[in-house]
Structure formats: C-alpha cells, structure tokens
Structure 1
Amino acid sequence: MDDGLIDRLLQDLKNPDDAIRDRATAALWQIWFNQKGDYGFEILGQSQALLEAKQYTQAEALLTDLIGDQPDFAEAWNRRAVLHYLQGNYERSLSDCQQVVKLNPIHFGALHGMGLCYAALGEYVAAIQSFRQALEIQPYALINQRLILECTARLN
C-alpha cells in the first residue's frame, strides 16, 4: 500500500468538507477491498452475494477459506466479522474485528464494529472506547458520536 496516499486520505477524513471526507472514505474502502488484487476482491464479492441471499454458512466457509489462504487480508476478516455480527455471534465478530485492527490499525469500520459488539454484549465502557478510537480516525462520523452518547446513558 502507498503510505503517502493513506496518510493523505486519513488527513482528508478530518476535513470539514463532507465531499472530501466521503471521497477519502470511499478510497480507503477501495484500497482495503483490493489489498489482494482481483482474486481477493472477487471472493469478497461472492461472499457478499451469499450474505445478501442469507446463505450464511456458505458465506462463512468462503471467507474462512480466504482467510486461511490470505491470513493478512484484513478485509476478509472484517467481512467475516460483519457476517458474525448479523447472525448475533457477537463474541466471534469481536474476535475477527480485533484481528482486523491488528492487521490494519486505522480500519475505522472494524473499530466501529468492535464498539457495536461490545455494546451488544453490554460492555458499554469497552464500546465507548472503541467508538472513540474510530472517532480519532473519522472525527465527523456522527454515528459513533451518537453511539457514545447511547452507551454512556446506559452506564447510569
């Protein structure tokens, strides 16, 4: 990955202009999805189609095979985390999100996902920490700001 480009995109996420932030967000997702070239991108697409068809077992098998082949492919771990979350398997989703962040510490999607998992598990302090980490990368992400407030309210 081009570290200079990544740094510029991360700076753009902090720009007050919505359009600049949106372009930077889309560009980062594109980089992450294309980390392993056409092969990885195609498998991610197939898994998404299976997920949308509610064929969760097949989607999980596909992603697990991809992770086995490409264990450093952060987005494969992230897509499997999404799958687990949608099935209510919050501990498994959280574990995959944590692996994403180990591989790609700036992955705001996985940090957000960790917060969602912690919140679903009733671990509101950890959820707040995860949402705050995501906000350090994407300070204008209103969803994370709102979720911090909701989790804070549940602490009282």
Structure 2
Amino acid sequence: MAALLPLMLALSPAWAVDAAKLDDLFTRLKSAKDASEAGRIEAEIQIEWARSGSPAMDLLMQRGDDAMQAGNFAAAAEHYTAVIDHDPDFLLAWDSRASAYYANGEIGPALADMGHVLAADPRHYDVLAGLGTILEETGDEKRALKAYLAAQAIHPYIQPVNDAIERLETKLEGQEL
C-alpha cells in the first residue's frame, strides 16, 4: 500500500474543484439577502475548496488539521507541504499551511503562501481576512483596512471582518488611505 501512495498522489486531479460551481456560488454570496443565506453559501464554497480529488491528499490534509488542533504547527505545515508538493494547484493546502506558519509565528512564510492563494484566486475571502489580521497586528492599519474591505466585497457577512472595518475606519477617520 505504501508503494501506491506516490502513484495515488501523482494521479490526483488538479481539477477537483468545480470552477463553474464556484463562480455561481460567489455570485450568490455577493447578493445574499442575509447572514443566514450567506452562511449556507459559504458552507458550499468551503466544500468546493476542500475537494482535493484524492483520498491520499485528504488523509494528509486531515493529518495537518489534526496537528493544528494539537498545537503542533510545525508538523501541520509539513503535512500541508506534502500536499502542495504533490498538487501545487490545491489552494486549500496553501491556505492551511499559511495558517500553520502564522500560528507558529512565521509571518513571512504565511504571507508568501497567502500571496500564492490570492494570485490564483483573488476571491479567497478567508485569506484576505487573514491578511487583514496580520497587517493590523503589524501596525499597517491602512493596508489592513483595504484587505478587510476586499474580503467584505466578496463576502459581506463575515462579522469579524465587518467589526474590524468599523474599528479601523473609526480609528483612521480623517487620514488619507
């Protein structure tokens, strides 16, 4: 079985995510009537983002997630890196590794992975929100606000993002963005 793992990973389809379905979901998310409807659409988007197309990659992702839950961020990053090595187009692995790096205090690598995700899919509101958080924590409040506003433009019902926007707009009022 161990000999089959590399073959299974190599044969995993990078097209597991349904781009047309995601396009429709993002259109619906932007025009959602309320937070409840947006939450249902967000759940569908999360399901699409999680489609690796490979049971072996799903197992590696689960091991990474388990390591994150256990607070072993370095091990989590290693598991996510293994997924990325086998399918560099699977953006959830990049996003998850960015979270592991961030949790481990490795801001530079986290930002690099976030940049990779946003270059491939600029609608990734979770990554934009995370970018806003990092920028705000590092004192770059103007750019943090821009990241939060970009996330909000895609997903208008992320309450922590909306709270951050309100907080930063109040704080930065009168300053040129």
119, 132, 139: which one pairs with 1:122?
A: 139
CA separation in 1, counterparts of 2:150 and 2:162?
Answer: 11
CA contact (8 A) 1:90 1:121 kept: no
CA distance, structure 1, for counterparts of residue 123 and residue 56 of structure 2: 23
State yes or no: 1:10 paired with 2:17.
no
Change (3 A) 1:18 1:153: closer
Q: CA deviation at 1:116?
A: 0.9
SS at match of 1:105: coil
Equivalent residues, number: 156
Match of 2:125 in 1: 108
Aligned partner (choices 157, 161, 164) of residue 147 of structure 1: 164
Structure 1 portions without partners, runs of 5+: none
Q: What TM-score do you get using the length of structure 1 for normalisation?
A: 0.89
Amino acid at match of 1:7: D
CA contact (8 A) 1:111 1:134 kept: yes
1:95 aligned to 109, 112, 115, which one?
112
CA shift at 1:153, angstroms?
Answer: 4.5
Residues 91-142 of structure 1: CA distance to partner in whole angstroms, max 9, x if unpaired?
3212211111112221111111111111111111111111111111101222
Judging changes above 3 Å, is the alpha-carbon distance between structure 1 residues 19 and 102 closer, same or farther for their aligned structure 2 residues?
same
Identity rate of aligned residues, in percent?
A: 24
Task: Specify which of 33, 49, 72 is matched with residue 32 of structure 1.
Answer: 49
Partners of 1:39 and 1:23 lie apart in 2 by 28
SS of 1:16's partner is coil
Conservation of the 8 A alpha-carbon contact between 1:90 and 1:120: no
Matched, 1:57 2:74: yes
1:72 to 80, 89, 107: 89
- Separation in 2 of the partners of 1:85 and 1:11? 30
- Which of structures 1 and 2 has the bigger CA Rg? 2
